Structures are given as structure tokens and as C-alpha cells.
Amino acid sequence: MTFRYIEQSQQDGVLLMTLRKNEESVITLKEGLVEELETVLEALPGEDAVRVVVITGTDDVFLVGADLKDMRSRTVRENVLYNHKLITIFNRIENLPQPVIAALNGSALGGGLELALTATFRLANASIRLGLPEVKLGILPGAGGTQRLPRLIPRSIAMRLLLTGDAITADAAKTFGLVDEVYPDNNVLGHAFTFGKQLAQGPRLAVQAIKDAVTVGANLDLSSAISYAERYAAQLINSHDAQEGIAAFLEKRTPKFLGN
């Protein structure tokens, strides 16, 4: 399927989703992009050939958030419905069975950072900046930023970023744990793809089970989280890949995982 705002390519089990610039040479959460994201995400859970998803932008632009002109032209009710759709889509990204890598080729601000926060991993070019500037507009990050950010980095630092709206460098973001790795400019996508291929070569069922257990368990008490993860144990030990992995280890050879 061909889209206006998203370009897709797939190689070695890695689906690359590239967000395209709009008519003003920026990437914003225009309704067209939001609708295309929704269409792509609906199909991904059943795509066994897609083991990992990488999301990136174009040139030196990742995603700078909502389109303020569009926001201003909508009614209050339309903005509420639009924000709810963003929440639904971002939740869907976070809960995909596949690991998601946000390759931050450009600055991630506002809704752009909120999207990046839903990813399993965040890799960044060195010169980018990250921030949630909504408070400077008299609003708040409405698509999950107020909740995901303090769950990822120290609460006081998250609060400072939320209340000031100030952006930080990629290196500072790595120090806080907001970004996993920082690379010299123009190198992040290559590193993201290499990392994605490494994950894609792993046993699909185990990778997806671990991701789900961690994601769901983060919102449960410890005992409930352990019980939730336990349900995967019997499923995995009876899988082909588990038997292959154990046999390969004992026979001192590389396992050949089939994803079942």
C-alpha cells in the first residue's frame, strides 16, 4: 500500500517506517499522517514476517509534534477527538508484539517525543534535541507524555522538563535514560537497522513474550507481574525454537530459529 506521509520498506525481518515531510518541509502529526499510522499499525500484530519495527524521519527531521495551524482551525470537540485518536495510536505502538526502535534522526519535540516514548528503544543522532514544550503554549502533552516520561526517567527531571518546556540535548537525554544510545550525526539509522536485525534473528515467540511481560508488568505489582510472565513459560518451553535453542547450546552450534 502506498502512503503520502509514510514510506515503508522491509529487509531481514525489519520494517522501516520513514515519516515524510509535509508541504512545509516539516513532519507534524497532521491528520493524514495520523490516519496512515493507524492503518499501518492495525496490520502489524499479525505480520509474523515483521520481527522488528524501526521508525525514523526524513533528512534531519524526525517529528515536531502537532500541527498548530490545524489545531487552531478545529473546534474544541474536534481537538478532543483528535487527541484521543493520538492516545489510541501511541498505545498501539507501545503494545505491538514486535520491539520498536525510534531512530531519532532529528529533534523529537512535543508529540514527536511522545511517540518516541512509546518505542522499546530510542537511538539518537548527536545534534538533536528532545523536549515537551506544550506548557509554553498553555497546554500539556496530551498523548501520554505526562505519564510515560516520569516512568522512564527520574520523576524530578521529568517534572522539570514538563513544567519548563525546555528541550535537552541527546547526550543529556542519554544521561537521564531517555535515550539509549547517541551516534555521530547521520549514523543513527544504520545503527538502528543493525540493532533491529540482531533482534529479528532471535526467537520470535520468546522476544515477543519478554517484551509483553515487561510492558504489562511495569503497571502491575511485583507478584502480579511475575504471575503474568509465568504464563509464558509453558508456551515457550514447548515451542520449536526453545527445543532448537537448547539443542544448539548443548551441541555447540548456532541455533536456527523458525519463529514457532
Q: Give the list of residues 6+ apart from residue 60 with CB closer than 8 angstroms, or none.
A: 105, 106, 125
DSSP string, 193-234: HHHHHHHHTS-HHHHHHHHHHHHHHTTS-HHHHHHHHHHHHH
C-alpha cell at 34: 495520523
Q: Which three cell numbers stand for residue 92?
A: 498501539
Q: Is 45 exposed, middle or buried (0-12, 13-18, 19+ CB in 10 A)?
A: middle
Contact of 99 with 199, CB cutoff 8 Å: yes
Q: What span, in angstroms and rounded, lies between the C-alpha atoms of 43 and 45?
A: 6
Residues designated catalytic: 66, 111, 114, 134
Residues 124/112, Cβ–Cβ less than 8 Å: no
